[in-house]
Amino acid sequence: MVKDILSSHEERMKKTIEAAKHEFASLRAGRATPSLLDKVLVDYYGAPTPVNQVAKVTVPEPRMIMIQPWEKSILHDIEVAIMKSDLGLNPNSDGTAIRLTIPQLTQERRQELVKAVNKKAEEAKVALRNIRRDGNEEMKKLEKGKEITEDESKRGQESMQKLVDKYIKQVDTAREAKEKEVLEV
């Protein structure tokens, strides 16, 4: 029973880590990556659709993203979606493709991004601690219901803490890597 609780909560922790890494990837760090456009939605036949599902997104140069829509009719809609997004990028269209040039980050913008990275990392850690709390409460309920012994409950809670420590280290590692990337000149 304790193992079931641990494995189900570990799955939730893994999903939290993946979500945090995805959030880090979507932060603009002065380098072009297709994941920058993950949150940009285009109105495609009345449905908000991610850019990468209506166009080919490539990175031909370290500071440029190239977007080639599968249908030329949607080119303008992609431009509008990018301008409305919070990326702060200006799309350049040649009628068949859109080029996004990623400008150099100012030192002030780098500091803002580091703060955003730290905030997202802290949110991930809080989520991990909440998962630990939920798991510990489940074990305490089982102990009160005499379904497991006090020793099993204590061992389970210790194992849960080890899992949280392991995943918090992963969050810290990902945060440090993103900070290093943001602060690179």
Are residues 139 and 169 both part of a single domain?
yes
Are residues 84 and 149 both part of a single domain?
no
**How large a percentage of the chain has pLDDT more than 70?**
98
With 70 as the cut, is the pLDDT of residue 168 above it?
yes
CATH number at residue 9: 1.10.132.20
Output 31 or 51, whichever has higher pLDDT: 51
CATH number at residue 51: 3.30.1360.40
Q: Domain range spanning residue 46? A: 34-101
Residue range 103-126: mean pLDDT, rounded: 88
DSSP 54-101: TEEEEEEETTEEEEEESSGGGHHHHHHHHHHSTT---EEE-SS-EEEE
> Which of 101, 123, 149 is the endpoint of a domain?
101
> Which of 66, 83, 101 is the endpoint of a domain?
101
Are residues 40 and 91 both part of a single domain?
yes
Are residues 93 and 45 both part of a single domain?
yes
Are residues 10 and 64 both part of a single domain?
no
Residue 86's φ and ψ, nearest 5 degrees, are -90, 20
Closest CA to 167 of 17, 26, 28: 17
Are residues 23 and 111 both part of a single domain?
yes
Alpha-carbon distance values, 65 to 37, 60, 101, 103, 182 (Å) = 9, 7, 7, 12, 18
Are residues 150 and 113 both part of a single domain?
yes
Element (DSSP H or E) covering residue 32: none
pLDDT digits (tens, 9 = 90+) for 84-113: 887 778 888 888 899 988 877 788 888 888
Q: CA–CA separation, 56 vs 76, rounded Å? A: 15
> Which of 82, 101, 120 is the endpoint of a domain?
101
How many domains in the chain? Answer: 2
